[in-house]
Structure 1
Amino acid sequence: MTTEAPRTPAPDEEWLHLDHQVCFALHAASRAFTGVYRGLLKELNLTYPQYLVMLVLWEQGDTPVKRLGERLRLDSGTLSPLLKRLEAAGLVTRERSARDERSVQVRLTGEGTALRERAARVPRAIMTATGLTAEEAADLHMRLARLTEALDTAAAGLPG
């Protein structure tokens, strides 16, 4: 993939070139991010999706599974195996709510809480790996959030 910005294509056919696809640039960046995370998270014995679950729990504390799925944009079929592996590793527990048996709460264990300290270096290492300044990273984050919102709106209007 080229690191130069693609020129604006004139004929419609040029829009079908791979290097003109924003989605492919995002896909390639996502895969590159995942590769860097894989190396950093290996010593924590976490996969990237497991790390995301832990981030939410470190930030919010006890969280219903449904809320975790919403926050991470994961369906229960993807989230449940992640939680089972985190539970087997002794990092979280899952417990049905006494008030609503349909709701399952996820809680950090002592070991899961302690892991936060070891994970604290990961974001700084990621920032260093990106080569972005704090301002550039904040701008990219804002643009990606706007893009996600626009695409969510567009997807909601498509037949499905």
Structure 2
Amino acid sequence: MTTPQSFPLELDQQLCFALYSTSLAMTKAYKPLLEKLDLTYPQYLAMLVLWESDDLTVKEIATRLSLDSATMTPLLKRLEAQGYVERIRGVEDERQVHIRLTDAGRTLKQSAREIPSAIFCAAGSDANSILQLRDSLVRLRASLNEYIAD
């Protein structure tokens, strides 16, 4: 049995590289699908969050995506310029900026419906395997976040 101390220091044997290179490949697979919608991958993720729950603060979206608010601001400004969202200052606290879908942003959801199935097909695996992999990655993320927090 391999113990952590005996893991080889070879690139292809590293979990981090397998995750990193797979993430890059996944983003490349999304690129042509998202170009049809005039979205970048980070913009698509933000839209997914808003399609789940509209009228969120920048901070809430950033938290959901594990990003900082400063990263979100230019991304959301571009989505606003494209007409998909509107940014509204909070009434009670003007420091808070709420993001709301426009009619165009809600309509875009219909155009995006084909993307998950296209990616699913591109993964070249059966549904059970893909769902198990996703669940394993969610558990790994939770474990790593718990480790980081300690």
Q: 1:120 aligns with which of 89, 113, 123?
A: 113
What is the TM-score when the length of structure 1 is the normalising length? 0.88
Work out whether 1:15 is the aligned partner of 2:27: no
Q: Which runs of 5+ in 2 are unaligned?
A: none
Q: Give CA-to-partner distance per residue, 1:78-136, whole Å, 9 cap, x none.
A: 11110010011111000011122222110011111111111100000000000122211
Q: 1:32 aligns with which of 17, 25, 32?
A: 25
What is the CA-CA distance between 1:77 and the residue it aligns to? 1.8
Q: Which runs of 5+ in 1 are unaligned?
A: 1-7
What is the CA-CA distance between 1:43 and the residue it aligns to? 0.7
Give secondary structure in 2 for the equivalent of 1:90. Answer: coil
Percent same amino acid among aligned pairs?
48
Q: 2:125 aligns with which of 104, 120, 132?
A: 132
State the aligned residue count. 150
| Structure 1 ranges of 4+ moved more than 3 A | 8-14
Q: 2:134 aligns with which of 108, 133, 141?
A: 141
Work out whether 1:153 is the aligned partner of 2:127: no
Q: 2:58 aligns with which of 34, 56, 65?
A: 65
Specify whether residues 66 and 14 from structure 1 end up closer, same or farther in structure 2 by C-alpha distance, changes over 3 A only.
closer
- 8 Å CA contact 1:90, 1:111 repeated in 2: yes
What is the CA-CA distance between 1:11 and the residue it aligns to? 9.6
Specify whether residues 40 and 11 from structure 1 end up closer, same or farther in structure 2 by C-alpha distance, changes over 3 A only.
closer
What is the TM-score when the length of structure 2 is the normalising length? 0.94
Q: Partners in 2 of 1:49 and 1:137 — Cα distance?
A: 22
Q: 1:81 aligns with which of 74, 77, 82?
A: 74
